[in-house]
Amino acid sequence: MFNRGVRNILLTPFLIWAGLFIFIPLVCIVWYGVTDYDGNFSLANLGLAFKHGYIDALKLSIVLALISTVICLLLAYPLCLILTERQRDNTTIISLLFILPLWMNSLLSTMAWQTILEGNGIINQLMRLLSLPDLQLINTPGAIVLGMVYNYLPYMVLPLYISLTKIDRRILEAARDLGANSWQTFTKIILPLSIPGAISGITMVFIPALTTFVISALLGGGKLLLIGNIIEQEFTFQYDWHVGCALSVILMVFIVLNMLLTAAFERKEEEP
Amino acid sequence: MKRELIHLENIAKSFGSLLVLDEIDLTIYESEFITLLGPSGCGKTTMLRIIGGFESPDTGRVIFDGKDITKLPPNKRPVNTVFQRYSLFSHMNVEENIAFGPKIAGKPADYIQDKVKYALRLVNLDGYEKHDVTKLSGGQQQRIAIARAVVNEPKVLLLDEPLSALDLKLRRNMRRELVRINKETGITFIFVTHDQEEALSMSDRVVVMNQGYIQQVGTPENVYNEPENAFVADFIGDSNIIDGVMVRDKVVRIFGREYPCVDSGFPAECPVDVQIRPEDIKLAAPAEGAFNGVVTRVVFWGMSYDINVEADGFEWLIQSTTGRTVGEEVSLYVAPENIQIMSKPQSEDEEVAQDV
């Protein structure tokens, strides 16, 4: 579309931006992560991540992020399926249901969940009205998962919806024509063709869920620490940039792994 | 004697207030190659989709081999479809695409393997089992779509403008291929097209449709040489259609002159449509033929010339292997047996509603 010179000029602003604000900070994080307080090379801080306390937070983060991702997928898939089934253009419904919540400040909505779930929160007040025993809702893994699903569901719905609408209706007719019933059409045609959308939805939910510290801080009450909270504490309370950066590097490894997996799947889709 | 396979009985279909099919009665015989021909919007694709089970008619029945299948879903019908844009499964290779039907039907693996091989040989694509369908050319994809359908050994193959996306040379090739596959397998082919050349060159019988009604059913020669109305005459091939009046049996009056023809049975002084094929008109020196005129346009087509001649205020189209020059004075001559007389529709509605 553009010749080389024009392309370079157009790209320059972003390259400067990326260099200054993405590449250099990344190098700094890795640098801090692999050096000790005297500036010597050391893997001690990275190794710390596998010690008691840190590894527990990492495990909990991965488990909760995985659970949230699965729940998002299970909630979003049938919905998207029905929306694409009924008629072709549901853009309005989609934006009302899923884009609008994105306009709401996520901190605000998470705090709203806090007031709903807490000891004297709305749910427990209702329980008391009905003379039922109080429920321990806040500060549980369940509360954190709820917060994650609430915040990240739109990121699952959008790519899934797009990939499902991209499936040509005539392909489904072809499957019916060749003898497939509705269930077989779903499992053999719709499901495999929607995998790219599911994969990008999974990535878009899993990564923020893995790294969040706001949701776990508000709904975990400082008792359930995710890796995001530990990193935050290293910087804001311990002032230990080396450990904080080392943990960030470990987290990055998981994110890169996830992205490699996604890329592998997408390549497989394109050229089997 | 040919055996009746499908019978469409008084079928009508509307989408909202739009009537797309009406009063459709048609019998389709076993093993024949029948073409539904008409302009876009004439209802031919809807008719195919009703046979395939993708649409259900508002009234009427679809009888298949003596059984009423009007309410049967597509996956329960002994018919398979070759779709316009192939509709191959992009996440499967050639083999998996073709094996889809037999696998769903629960056939054993070695049977499927043999069948896939046979189907690929039938469409001249031996050895393509492991190819990625999205990497094949349009013509190859179309062949795979055909193989995927015939592998199920359907009684009937529905083809929805399957050649329209291919280039001219490939299209000609595929026409021959389709006729060969039809004869080789004995499967009944119901072929939908808007291309009259395709219809004439491939079919055993042609169903000409317009605005939801069947205009004429007949062999290709039949619909070309003896069109039953002006629509068929005009749609199939080029035609000169002139207002005329039947003077008596075997005499028609056009442009004030009485002219011999071979049709009879019309009432005296009955207004008719007179159809003359451009290739049936001979050009002669002025005053030698029946009508004098002036050449207004000449287009060279390779095999022949299209020549327009204005005579008596009517623009005649003539096809000739010899060229003429614009402005030349000529006369036209038509042999009486090449004049086709068609009754005029009584009203606007009847133009489309004329019965077969």
Domain range enclosing A160: 51-270
**In this structure, is residue A35 part of a structural domain?**
no
Phi, psi of B289 (to 5 degrees): -90, -165
Please enumerate in sequence order all residues whose Cβ is within 8 A of that of B132, keeping only pairs 6 or more positions apart, or say none.
A271, A272, B93, B94
Residue with tokens 């019978």: B7
At A125-180, the pLDDT tens digits run: 898 989 888 888 888 999 999 999 999 998 999 899 889 988 988 899 999 999 99
Position B126 pLDDT exceeds 80: yes
pLDDT band of residue B346 (cuts 50, 70, 90) is low
Q: Report the CATH number at residue A163.
A: 1.10.3720.10
**In this structure, is residue A27 part of a structural domain?**
no
pLDDT band of residue B130 (cuts 50, 70, 90) is very high
How many structural domains is chain A composed of? Answer: 1
At B46-105, the pLDDT tens digits run: 999 999 999 999 999 999 999 999 999 999 999 999 998 889 999 999 999 999 999 999
Minimum-distance CB partner of A180 among B79, B91, B104: B104
Helix A241-270 vs helix A24-33: angle between axes, to the nearest 10 degrees?
A: 120
Q: Give me the pLDDT at residue B347, please.
A: 53
Residues of B with CB under 8 A from a CB of A: 52, 54, 73-75, 79-81, 83-85, 87-91, 93, 100-101, 104-105, 132, 148-149, 152
Please enumerate in sequence order all residues whose Cβ is within 8 A of that of B248, keeping only pairs 6 or more positions apart, or say none.
B268
Q: Does the beta-carbon distance from B87 to A168 stay under 8 Å?
A: yes
Phi, psi of B331 (to 5 degrees): -135, 160
Phi, psi of A15 (to 5 degrees): -65, -40
**In this structure, is residue A197 part of a structural domain?**
yes
Q: What residue in A sits closest to B74 (Cα-Cα)? A: A177
DSSP H/E element including B342: strand B339-343
Please give the CATH number for the structural domain made up of B241-353. 2.40.50.140
Q: Give me the pLDDT at residue B23, please.
A: 92
Answer yes or no: CATH 3.40.190.10 is held by domain B4-225.
no
Q: Which of residues 191-210 of A touch B (CB under 8 A)?
A: 192-193
For an interface test with B, give the residue of A163, A170, A177, A193 to mutate (most B CBs within 10 A): A177
The DSSP result for A15-59, as a single string, is HHHHIIIIIHHHHHHHHHHTB-TTS-B-SHHHHHTTSTTHHHHHH
Q: Which residues of B touch A188 (CB under 8 A)?
A: 100
Q: Which residues of B touch A176 (CB under 8 A)?
A: 54, 73-75
Q: Give me the pLDDT at residue A75, please.
A: 94
**In this structure, is residue A5 part of a structural domain?**
no
What are the beta bridge partners of residue B306?
B299, B319
> How close B161 comes to chain A (CA, Å)?
14
Distance in angstroms (rounded) separating the CA atoms of residues B234 and B241 = 8
What are the beta bridge partners of residue B274?
B242, B341
**In this structure, is residue A38 part of a structural domain?**
no
Q: Does the beta-carbon distance from A180 to B100 stay under 8 Å?
A: yes
Q: Which residues of A touch B83 (CB under 8 A)?
A: 170, 173-174
Q: Which residues of B touch A179 (CB under 8 A)?
A: 75, 101, 104-105, 152
**In this structure, is residue A26 part of a structural domain?**
no
Torsion angle of C-alpha atoms B180, B185, B190, B195, degrees rounded to 10: -10
Q: Give me the pLDDT at residue A87, please.
A: 60
Contact A247, A230 (CB under 8 A): yes
Position B221 pLDDT exceeds 90: yes
Judged by average pLDDT, the poorest of A91-105, B105-119, B270-284 is: A91-105
Per domain, the residue ranges of chain B are 4-225, 241-353
Cα–chain-centroid distance for residue A109? 17
User: Number of helices and strands (H, E) in chain B?
Assistant: 9, 20
Cα–chain-centroid distance for residue B302? 25
Position A52 pLDDT exceeds 80: no
Model ipTM value: 0.80
Judged by average pLDDT, the poorest of A163-177, A226-240, A251-265 is: A251-265
Which region, left, alpha or beta, applies to residue B265 given φ > 0 means left and ψ of -120 to 50 means alpha? left
Q: Give me the pLDDT at residue A185, please.
A: 94
Please enumerate in sequence order all residues whose Cβ is within 8 A of that of B110, keeping only pairs 6 or more positions apart, or say none.
none
Higher per-residue pLDDT: A9 or A99? A9
Q: Does the beta-carbon distance from B100 to A272 stay under 8 Å?
A: no
Q: Does the beta-carbon distance from A177 to B80 stay under 8 Å?
A: yes
Contact A133, A159 (CB under 8 A): no
Q: Which residues of A touch B107 (CB under 8 A)?
A: none
Position A272 pLDDT exceeds 50: no
> How close B71 comes to chain A (CA, Å)?
15
pTM score, whole prediction: 0.80
Distance in angstroms (rounded) separating the CA atoms of residues B118 and B92 = 19
The whole-chain average pLDDT of chain A stands at 87
Q: Does the beta-carbon distance from A181 to B87 stay under 8 Å?
A: no
Q: Does the beta-carbon distance from B105 to A175 stay under 8 Å?
A: no
**In this structure, is residue A105 part of a structural domain?**
yes
CA-based nearest residue to A49, from A242, A257, A261, A258: A242
The whole-chain average pLDDT of chain B stands at 91
Q: Which of residues 164-193 of A touch B (CB under 8 A)?
A: 168, 170-171, 173-181, 184, 188-189, 192-193
